[in-house]
Amino acid sequence: MPQPPRIAVLASGRGSNLQAVLDAIADGRLAAQVVGVYSDRPAAAALQRVPEALRWSAVPARYPSRADYDAALTDAVAASAPDWVLCVGYMRILSDGFVQRFRGRLLNIHPSLLPKHRGLHTHARAIEDGDAEHGASVHFVIPELDAGAVIAQAVVPVAADDDAERLAARVLSVEHPLLLATLQLAVAGRIAEQGATVTLDGHPLFTPLRLDSAGNSLNR
């Protein structure tokens, strides 16, 4: 029997997105396997969500240079022979070498409706800007931060009395189904990065897929 597609996961924090992936694999909603979880923070809760044999972590400051840490991370991820590399709350900027090594199979979930609000503090910035809608995006990673082709997005309303914490929780609740729906397309070989464009079943997507809170497509 063919082996399920192999997913390597990079995470710096609590790992709720990773848990959503693990749960979906366990109950048969995602035909894949997690082959390693990699973190720049050895105390990250995300690491605890997989068996010890699958964990890799290293404190970047303990390496002589940024390039040394990046090379160690690249080698460790490559050693797990991933079909897909998934960033879920990995809070360090990936080196160009890492991105080039895994380009085309490197995905990130970002808590905004890209191209709005690249970088940090996305929820506070959405409120500050008076956005009526906010959400999350899954995109291919390129060397420029949060600038790769967007595959799919999920939208939530911004309420007049929202603070960043409450808005973040609302976004997180749609991140998990968004991530799973996108990964289902990825592991089935249905999406690909072609330059600045995403193709779905070989056809270019002119706008990102929009998914509802259950992860169902709204535009196909």
One of 7, 9, 10, 15 touching ligand GAR (CB under 6 A): 15
Known active-site residue 134 = no
Considering the rule CB under 6 A, would residue 40 count as an interface residue with ligand GAR?
Answer: no
State in angstroms the smallest separation of the CB of 201 from ligand GAR.
26
Applying CB under 6 A, the span of 12-20, 63-71, 77-85, 184-192 interacting with ligand GAR comes to 12-20
Kindly provide the residue ranges of all beta strands, DSSP E only, lying in the chain, ordered along the sequence: 6-10, 33-39, 55-57, 84-88, 106-110, 133-140, 150-157, 191-194, 197-200, 203-204, 209-211
Give the neighbor-by-neighbor strand order of the sheet with 84-88.
Answer: 55-57, 33-39, 6-10, 84-88, 106-110, 133-140, 150-157, 209-211
State in angstroms the smallest separation of the CB of 89 from ligand GAR.
3
State in angstroms the smallest separation of the CB of 108 from ligand GAR.
7
Considering the rule CB under 6 A, would residue 110 count as an interface residue with ligand GAR?
Answer: yes
Q: 30 is written with which tokens?
A: 């995602």
Interface with ligand GAR (CB under 6 A): 11, 13-17, 46, 88-89, 109-111, 136, 172, 175
